[in-house]
Amino acid sequence: MLTDHLTPDRIRFADDVLTWQRAVELVTEPLVADGSITTDYVDAVTASIAGPGGTYVDLGFGIALAHARPEQGVVRPALSSLRVRPSVLLADDPAHPIDLFLCLAATDSSEHVQTMQELATLLTDDDARGRLLAATTPADVTAALSKTGQNA
């Protein structure tokens, strides 16, 4: 699912984003623009992070998986990414600096679980994770994802 749904037009890079709220706006923009999610979904993601325990989307290694429930505005499965520099504080919490935001739009729990399994594989592969975090172009991101679990 990662390489199927994270297409080059959904991979972004931004400097001086400053807030996690702005990062959520930027990472969700391609999915709103192509009709994969509604603006209600963006609002739900923002509210989830702002609420109690909102830092649960922090996957570690400076990566956050922004998402909400499918019924809150997912139209079709999709994934987007936003690399920010410098990092921003998720939920304004100094314990959660984030460099890479991923936005997951899953239409059901099986898609969600599959994506989480693929992300777990990626995050536990030091080389693939390093390539992903060092990526500076959409092609770099795609290459890092396609080599997950393989020797580069």
3-class DSSP string for 8-22: HHHEEEEECCCCHHH
DSSP state of 32: H
Asked about 67 being catalytic, the answer comes back as yes
Are 40 and 94 within 8 A, CB to CB? no
Catalytic residue from among 5, 67, 96, 112: 67
- Helix, strand or coil for residue 77? coil
Q: Which residue reads 């998720």 in tokens?
A: 90
Tokens 């994934």 sit at which residue?
79
Task: Collapse the DSSP code of 141 into the 3-class scheme (helix H, G, I; strand E, B; otherwise coil) and give the result.
Answer: helix
**Helix H or strand E segment including 47:** helix 39-50
Query: Any idea which residues carry the catalytic annotation?
Result: 67
